[in-house]
Chain A
Amino acid sequence: MSPGAPAAATAAAAATTATTATGATGLAPLELATLDAVCAAAPAALPSTDLAEAVGVTHGVLVDGALKTLAAREALVLTPVLHEVWVLTAEGTTYASAGSPEAQLVAHLATATAAAAGGGGGDGDGDGSGGGCSLPDVDAALGAGVRKIGMQQAMRQGWVVMDKPTKALRLAADAAASPPADAVAAALCALRDAAADGGGGGGAAAALPDEGVLKALAKRKLVTKKATKTFTVVGGPRLADARRPQATDLGRDALTSGAWRSLAFKPYNFAAAGKPVDGGHLHTLLKVREQFRLIFLEMGFAEMDSARYVESSFWNFDALFQPQQHPARDEHDTFFLSFPESSRLPDEADYVARVKAAHCGGPDGAAVTGGSRGYRYAWSAAEARKNILRTHTTAVSCRMLRRLATATADAGGVFTPAKMFSIDRVFRNETLDATHLAEFHQIEGLVADRGLSLGHLKGVIHTFFKKMGMDRLRFKPTHNPYTEPSLEVHAFHPGLDKWVEVGNSGMFRPEMLLPMGLPPDVRVIAWGLSLERPTMIKYGVSNIRDLFGHKMDLDAIQRNPICRITF
């Protein structure tokens, strides 16, 4: 951007006047020399190759050291000219000096034959007609690579034949009589010499091989086309201003003195790439999480404090009326803590007693649960005290509902309805695969109010999913240990053209709510879904490990677009 661009150190002649020239105009000696050359040639256009020759630098130095900055000052106008030149590949370069593999093979066979003929008339290898060389011998002399290609090409040309039974190579009669010319090496040499003469690609036309030959060489990957770019240079609209300092600012002095009238302003460069916006990037999961939070907040839900990864079995299972023999409470499904192994039960002993009664059933259980028969087993306080990594955020909901019940009692039985949500991490002892980790995020919303029905549950779920563009929903009966009824939420996915399961929902069992002390006509409806699944669908992530943990794709985090949940 700065006018004092790196000067061409190779422009030795100009360098002697460097200090004075730069001081006056902000231009480097090479740039001044270039301007002189262009002005001298005006109004004719100059090819940049000629210009490079005129100022005595290589083409590349001219372009980087003078043409680009002068063009930016609109002192010059550059019209790009594209040239395609054939150049030798590394392999081609080798053959240009050593001869093509087929020629090398022919030469080797010729000397070998001569040596055999001269050296005593065929003692060992003269058993066939005219002997020949075995493949290993040729490999030893020429290298296996050269031998293979040479054999292929030479046999195609009919220069060399192979003795089927002995697999020995020998020269064909014609080639033995008069050694064939190495056209390939000749063409390669011609091309190499032409390139060496041509320098910047300009002129000096040695006899170049014709296009057909070049194409054949290209097929053998001995030559390749290389694109080069030169320019046609003419004076630009501000050629006259080029030697004057370029003003980049319009200050007070310039305005009051009227100097602005004669100043040469540096033109704006609207094509320049912007400065990269500096800043960090939000994790993909969190972007989606934020959208879900906004949806809940828009619907008037308050976020529950869910900062509690370790939970007691009591709040995670027992208080939810999930029996102690339930398979989910197995160590196959749940992580148990070894230290501290257990925690105290809640201080409200009467609440714990009611939970126990609800599990055990009998008249005591029926009395606190509105007539439930209970699970009729021996409820163990020790089992309820066991610490686990919470298996669902419903453990949090459970604590909040108990708090709601306590608040109702404190308010003299006046119940205040509640709408709450949480989005946080839960843990399951799952078999890990591309879509399952042992931990994931659960999104959960609940409403506690008097007189709620399944109709309300369907209504609130519909509102929730509509905000993500899911309009067509169906509900399938299912089973959750602590909700009854339980409804699986299915939505129609227009992209996939089918119904997909999007969440789970239900009405908490009275055996959970009544022991808490909530009024009998208060019902609690709730629904939940995972955060990972919509995120993976939204951002096209097929392996959850790319999203989460130490193999996370950092690049994707930096480049993923902002999130707007649509379906």
Chain B
Amino acid sequence: MPTVSVARDALFGALGRTYTDEEFDELCFSYGLELDGITTEVPPSLGSRARSGTTTDVAAPPPAEPVVMYKVEVPANRYDLLCLEGLSAALRVFIGADRCAPAYALSPDPAAGTAPPLTLTVSASANAIRPYIVAAVLRGVTLTADRYRSLIDTQDKLHATLCRRRSLVAIGTHDADTVRGPLRYGAEDPAAIRFVPLAGDDELDGHGVVALYERDAQLKKYTPLLAGAPAYPVVRDGTGAVLSLPPLINGDRTKVTLATTNILIECTATDLTKAGVVLNTLVACYARWAAVPFTIEPVTIEYEAFLPPTVVVEEAEDAASREGSPHTVVTPDLSQPTVDASVAYINAAVGVTLSAEAIVDLLVRMQVSATVSSAGGKGIVANGDGPDDGATVSVSVPINRSDIIHACDVMEDVAIAYGFDAIPEHPLTTATVAPPSSSSAAPLSWRASSRRSAKIATPQCRCDCLSWVTLCTWTRRPRRGRPTGGGW
């Protein structure tokens, strides 16, 4: 399970109240988090990466004071909790400090007919290595050292978990003011990709960059994703300048610094669904910093040859001949899909009797807004529990809760908000007929244990029973019951 490290006082500030360590531990337990450790640390210095902006030099911050840090373990499906911003937003709603999750909006809104200012063209060449890209811009952001650190840390956390070590999705953040539209994304001959990598000194080509990072302790685990490919994916701006060489490194020219106010986020991917989840998670956490909080500037993505994401290459008649079709989308996709769950199902599965309104109230505490419809749960099974009076709870899934995909996820959130410990225990009444005692145990297990008992109990055998590793080198394998190379 991933762990997020947050400054205690900053967290309590965001929550609007303080807790003792025990109280906070208790709060974590009930929400499904775990307070894994409490340390006192000096926040790491941001290094030259953040300070030496291309246009403005920011003075080095004064040496940081040690602060108390909480290490909080987050369940592996809640990527939105991997930073202070997301964690505090979720807990504020859970403890009742906020009544609802923020409403996110696109500005300019393409639905209102205004085209996004930035366009990104995707060449068909990308299909061979990393077919998808999504992007968004946050305008009017004020960065502080803490916010900057949070932005970087969250990207690292997401890369390690949801992005599956960047193989599925790779995130790049840029100073949007250093970028001229329209952007271009495609795969190119590595020798033709020349740029100064982030925090680097010299301009290198694609081969040079991969060779450089093969020796880097942090980045060497990603170089195999590129090494050997005939063409590397690359994001360029309108002037041809390189923004990033995904999934490895960004260009130094467009890096985010403390002076950055407009942040461009791009995520290249082999899995389009995951890319959308990653982008939504990031904007859900950081759109609160925008000049108009919770607004996001969208980006138009124009694919020359879009591959439908749910077709398996191996099943296409000829993988190489797969051809996409031109396709235009606007990202991020802030639509909130609806998941319905019948009240009867929720009550039966949790083991409680709650009214539809009580369920909606509980869901609010999980940042999930829901409405009651009595139209009957069409589309969603009531799972046949009891007389279905037709009351159904319709959840519109928040952009940061991609884990809600089925009625059972809604049911879980109701159970967590109700409190697992508050759910009444029911004795198990399932009546089963046990097989005869000798065969109720699995045949092999039964034979093994009978044979073992005989070998141990019979004085002539006097066998001592060992427990042997299945995974061992060939030379260490047990021979004729006698282990070799061991301690006796």
Q: Is the CB of A373 within 8 A of B405?
A: yes
Contacts of B168 in A (CB 8 A): 325
Q: Is the CB of A378 within 8 A of B423?
A: no
Q: Is the CB of A475 within 8 A of B271?
A: no
Beyond A280-B462, A371-B381, A459-B426, is A376–B273 a contact (Cβ under 8 Å)?
yes
Contacts of B444 in A (CB 8 A): 305, 307
Contacts of B421 in A (CB 8 A): 474-475
B207 within 8 A of A: no
Beyond A283-B467, A417-B432, is A373–B339 a contact (Cβ under 8 Å)?
yes
Q: Is the CB of B457 within 8 A of A280?
A: yes
Nearest Cβ on chain B to A282's Cβ, whole angstroms: 5
A11 within 8 A of B: no
Which residue of A371, A484, A557 contacts B379 across the interface (Cβ within 8 Å)? Answer: A371
Contacts of A335 in B (CB 8 A): 471
Residue of B nearest to A285 (CB): B467
Contacts of B272 in A (CB 8 A): 376
Q: Is the CB of B420 within 8 A of A477?
A: yes
Tell me which of B58-66, B139-147, B182-190, B310-318 binds A. Answer: B310-318
Which residue of B164, B379, B466 contacts A552 across the interface (Cβ within 8 Å)? Answer: B466
Interface residues of B in 390-439 (CB under 8 A from A): 405-409, 411-412, 415-416, 420-421, 423-432, 434-435, 437
B355 within 8 A of A: no
Q: Is the CB of B452 within 8 A of A286?
A: yes
A422 CA to B314 CA in the complex, in Å? Answer: 36
Q: Is the CB of A282 within 8 A of B452?
A: yes
Q: Is the CB of B432 within 8 A of A366?
A: no
Contacts of B379 in A (CB 8 A): 366, 371
Q: Is the CB of A557 within 8 A of B465?
A: yes
Q: Is the CB of A459 within 8 A of B425?
A: yes
* Cβ-Cβ contact count across A and B, 8 Å cutoff: 261
B487 within 8 A of A: yes
Tell me which of A20-28, A98-106, A135-143, A296-304 binds B. Answer: A296-304
Which residue of A282, A425, A479, A511 contacts B77 across the interface (Cβ within 8 Å)? Answer: A479
Contacts of B431 in A (CB 8 A): 417
Beyond A302-B440, A550-B486, is A455–B351 a contact (Cβ under 8 Å)?
yes
Beyond A377-B309, A475-B421, is A485–B406 a contact (Cβ under 8 Å)?
no
Interface residues of A in 345-387 (CB under 8 A from B): 360-362, 366, 369-382
A14 CA to B456 CA in the complex, in Å? Answer: 50
A219 CA to B424 CA in the complex, in Å? Answer: 73
Q: Is the CB of B425 within 8 A of A452?
A: no
A150 within 8 A of B: no
Beyond A477-B75, A520-B381, A552-B487, is A484–B457 a contact (Cβ under 8 Å)?
no
Which residue of B315, B411, B416, B472 contacts A549 across the interface (Cβ within 8 Å)? Answer: B472
Nearest Cβ on chain B to A20's Cβ, whole angstroms: 42
Q: Is the CB of B339 within 8 A of A371?
A: yes
Please tell me the number of chain A residues within 8 Å of chain B, measured between CB atoms. Answer: 94
Contacts of B485 in A (CB 8 A): 550
B474 within 8 A of A: no
Contacts of A361 in B (CB 8 A): 310, 405
Residue of B nearest to A286 (CB): B465
A547 within 8 A of B: yes
Contacts of A519 in B (CB 8 A): 384
Q: Is the CB of A370 within 8 A of B383?
A: yes
Q: Is the CB of B411 within 8 A of A485?
A: yes
A427 within 8 A of B: yes
Q: Is the CB of B412 within 8 A of A485?
A: yes
Q: Is the CB of B486 within 8 A of A373?
A: no
Q: Is the CB of B467 within 8 A of A477?
A: no
Which residue of A418, A454, A463 contacts B423 across the interface (Cβ within 8 Å)? Answer: A454
Nearest Cβ on chain B to A196's Cβ, whole angstroms: 46
B476 within 8 A of A: yes
Contacts of B95 in A (CB 8 A): none
A226 within 8 A of B: no
Contacts of B407 in A (CB 8 A): 370-371, 510
Residue of A nearest to B277 (CB): A376
Q: Is the CB of A476 within 8 A of B425?
A: no
Beyond A330-B164, A371-B340, is A554–B488 a contact (Cβ under 8 Å)?
yes
Contacts of B30 in A (CB 8 A): 476-477
Residue of B nearest to A558 (CB): B464
Contacts of B44 in A (CB 8 A): none
Q: Is the CB of B314 within 8 A of A282?
A: no
Contacts of A456 in B (CB 8 A): 351, 426-430
Q: Is the CB of A374 within 8 A of B469?
A: no
Contacts of B315 in A (CB 8 A): 381
Q: Is the CB of B468 within 8 A of A305?
A: no
Contacts of B423 in A (CB 8 A): 454-455, 458
Beyond A377-B273, A510-B407, is A478–B434 a contact (Cβ under 8 Å)?
no
B441 within 8 A of A: yes
Beyond A449-B430, A510-B408, is A325–B442 a contact (Cβ under 8 Å)?
no
Q: Is the CB of A453 within 8 A of B350?
A: yes
Residue of B nearest to A374 (CB): B405
Q: Is the CB of A476 within 8 A of B430?
A: no
- B314-343 vs A, CB cutoff 8 Å, 1 = contact: the mask equals 110000000000000000000001011000
Contacts of B212 in A (CB 8 A): none
Which residue of B409, B437, B455, B469 contacts A484 across the interface (Cβ within 8 Å)? Answer: B409
Residue of A nearest to B384 (CB): A521
Residue of B nearest to A284 (CB): B467
B161 within 8 A of A: yes
Contacts of B484 in A (CB 8 A): 550
Contacts of A567 in B (CB 8 A): none
A484 CA to B412 CA in the complex, in Å? Answer: 6
Q: Is the CB of A523 within 8 A of B349?
A: yes
Q: Is the CB of A485 within 8 A of B428?
A: no
Interface residues of A in 433-478 (CB under 8 A from B): 437-439, 447, 449, 451-456, 458-460, 462-463, 474-478
A375 CA to B271 CA in the complex, in Å? Answer: 11
Nearest Cβ on chain A to B28's Cβ, whole angstroms: 9
Contacts of B461 in A (CB 8 A): 280
Contacts of A130 in B (CB 8 A): none
B29 within 8 A of A: yes
Contacts of B458 in A (CB 8 A): 279
Which residue of B75, B452, B464, B469 contacts A550 across the interface (Cβ within 8 Å)? Answer: B469
Q: Is the CB of B164 within 8 A of A325?
A: yes
Q: List chain A positions with a Cβ less than 8 A from chain B.
A: 278-286, 290, 293, 297, 300-307, 309, 325, 327, 330, 335, 360-362, 366, 369-382, 389, 416-419, 422, 425, 427, 437-439, 447, 449, 451-456, 458-460, 462-463, 474-479, 484-487, 507, 509-511, 519-521, 523, 547-552, 554, 557-558
Q: List 22 A-B contacts (CB under 8 A).
A: A281-B465, A286-B465, A301-B434, A306-B442, A306-B445, A330-B164, A381-B312, A417-B432, A418-B432, A437-B469, A454-B415, A454-B423, A455-B424, A458-B420, A475-B420, A476-B29, A477-B75, A477-B416, A484-B408, A550-B476, A552-B487, A554-B466
Inter-chain pairs besides A325-B164, A550-B487, A558-B464, 16 sampled, C-beta below 8 Å:
A281-B464, A286-B452, A300-B432, A302-B434, A325-B271, A371-B379, A380-B312, A380-B314, A417-B432, A419-B432, A454-B351, A507-B349, A510-B383, A520-B381, A520-B383, A550-B468
- 7 nearest interchain CB pairs? A455-B351, A477-B32, A453-B351, A280-B456, A550-B486, A479-B75, A521-B384
